[in-house]
A and B are shown apart, each in its own frame.
Chain A
Amino acid sequence: MRQRTVLFVSLVAGTVLFSACSDTTQPTPPSDERIGFDPVQQPDDPVALVRGIPGFGGFFFDREGVPTVYLRDVSARAQVERALGPWLAAQGLRAAALRVRRADYDWASLERWQGRATEQALAMRGAVWVDADEARNRVTIAVERGTPVAQLRSAVARLGVPSAAVLVEEVEPVRLAATLQQRVRPVVGSLQINFPGFLCTLGFNATRNGQRSFITNSHCTNTQGGSEGTPYWQPTSTVAPTQIGTEVADPAYTTGGVGCPSGRRCRRSDSARARYASGTTSTLGRIARTSGANNGSITITANFNITAEGSALVGQTVHKIGRTTGWTRGSVTGTCVNTNLSGSNITQLCQTWVSAGVGAGDSGSPVFRRQGTGSNVTLVGILWGGSGSTLYVFSPISNIETELGALTTF
């Protein structure tokens, strides 16, 4: 069995994998020792049981789950069965179930060539990984699309690795999985934002009169109600000191309006708009998507795409993604609910309540309905608060656009 040690060296165009594995069969030439093989064997390692059999070329389970071994001399099957029998029995398998394939190369050679190829190949731009491939009895080198393969093959061949033993295939580059609380560019909905002394969630990107902007809560500005040019960073001013935007619109809370209780100040949305700084990239209509609903993960695995705006009715399922509790899903429990903000004289008129997880820092989260099971969603509003950790309240998109003006959101 192979061990892989992964070292991340770049965040931008791709990530190079450094693979370390064991080679304990015979003394290795100096060039291999420089690479630094570590004899790593796990207690339950079937390869350790058979690597000493002459001509052993790799062991794996095929697509049908059949244990399969490569042998240069297929008559060595009996030896392999004896060596692997107890281990196979522990897996609930009979030794007779073993399938044998004729190997072109022995495993020790493949591991040695992997080591040599690693030193050259992974130093080249576009290389992704190098594998002693037990399923194909080859050394497999994976590269990004467009990488000059001939150059790579020449470099590896000069190290004494037989060309016929090397497979080169194109793959997508490996990238670090960012979280909602890390720096992400272009900026999209659901990412953490920071203004002096506080953290919130960016709701969604929008264009207003041609101005590239994002929407978050009014209480996620220096003063709730009234625009004072609040500066924003993503994820924080410490991690990414270049400011991403500035508050430009945040209507005042007013008294005496229709439906506003006596002695209180009201608005129909807890929303504000910030203009993006010219050097900050953003993607209209995109919301960061984490690994799954209601699983607590904040790791970004994909994106949702806003393709419509709409409303949510009692009983409908809505989703939100915020920097603290990630993606939570639940049912609408109340619509057009006039809601007092605790500890203030503020009343948010005509809000929507949802039974779903929420936590401190989720303020500003985009709330949406999914269109089927794909990535297209209908934006319905932005979250601003909750009661406890299982009930949250959001301002509907129609209320937001009534107060901030017409927005292009996709």
Chain B
Amino acid sequence: MRVEIVVPPKVAAGVPVPIAIRIGNTAARPIELHLQGRTVVFDLIVSRGDTVMWRRLEGESVTAILQLRTLAPGEVLELKDTWQQNDGAGRPVGPGEYRVTGVVPTDAAPLRAGPVTLMIGD
């Protein structure tokens, strides 16, 4: 199985940033994933240095149901969202280098992707 996070390497300031976590079955047989939520729950964390600037699930209440999801050989599950370049308080972030991490809760260890670097230009 391959878990990766896809982020454009560089965006202009203020432009919404599309972020995707891709979970791919690289095996020759189906695999069953145990994922949280009726709609798959996933978190995205955007950091600058050691500071978390934005967290997708910050303060959110999600159900604790477990979804059984089968991925066929070669199939990819993509979880997407868009970061508006705001911090947790809704304020625009400035230009600079950021790191983006993805976390997908399961009933065991979470699936993790990244971090990858995102440059926000002037």
Q: Please state if A385 and B57 are interface contacts (CB–CB under 8 Å).
A: no
Q: Please state if A360 and B66 are interface contacts (CB–CB under 8 Å).
A: yes
Residues of B within 8 A of A200 (CB): 65-66
Contact check: which of A197, A322, A324, A387 meets B68 at CB < 8 Å?
A197
Contact check: which of A359, A362, A393 meets B61 at CB < 8 Å?
A393
| Minimum distance in angstroms from B68 CB to a CB of chain A | 6
A393-B60 Cα distance, complex, nearest whole Å? 12
| Minimum distance in angstroms from B21 CB to a CB of chain A | 16
| B12 interface residue (CB < 8 Å to A) | no
Interface residues of chain A: helix, strand, loop or mixed (majority): loop
Q: A199-B34, A343-B39, A360-B35 are in contact. Are A384 and B68 (CB under 8 A)?
A: no
| B101 interface residue (CB < 8 Å to A) | no
Q: Please state if A360 and B36 are interface contacts (CB–CB under 8 Å).
A: yes
Q: A324-B107, A360-B105 are in contact. Are A342 and B64 (CB under 8 A)?
A: no
Q: Please state if A198 and B68 are interface contacts (CB–CB under 8 Å).
A: yes
Q: Please state if A385 and B68 are interface contacts (CB–CB under 8 Å).
A: no
| B63 interface residue (CB < 8 Å to A) | yes
| A136 interface residue (CB < 8 Å to B) | no
Q: Please state if A388 and B57 are interface contacts (CB–CB under 8 Å).
A: yes
Q: Interface code A237-268, partner B: CB below 8 Å = 1, 0 otherwise? A: 00000000000000000000000000000000
| Minimum distance in angstroms from B44 CB to a CB of chain A | 14
Q: Please state if A322 and B65 are interface contacts (CB–CB under 8 Å).
A: no
Which residue of A has the minimal Cβ distance to B69? A197
- Interface residues on chain A, number (Cβ under 8 Å): 32
Q: A198-B68, A360-B106 are in contact. Are A219 and B38 (CB under 8 A)?
A: yes
Q: Interface code B3-34, partner A: CB below 8 Å = 1, 0 otherwise? A: 00000000000000000000000000000001
Q: Interface code B92-122, partner A: CB below 8 Å = 1, 0 otherwise? A: 0000000000000111000000000000000
Q: What are 7 A-B interface contacts by the 8 Å CB criterion? A: A199-B66, A199-B107, A324-B64, A324-B66, A359-B107, A360-B41, A392-B64
Residues of chain B touching chain A, judged by Cβ–Cβ distance below 8 Å, are 34-39, 41, 57, 59-68, 105-107
Residues of chain A touching chain B, judged by Cβ–Cβ distance below 8 Å, are 197-200, 217, 219-220, 224, 270, 322, 324, 339-343, 358-363, 365, 383-389, 392-393
> Known pairs A198-B65, A217-B65, A219-B65. 9 more at Cβ < 8 A?
A197-B67, A198-B68, A200-B66, A339-B61, A360-B35, A361-B64, A384-B63, A384-B64, A393-B61
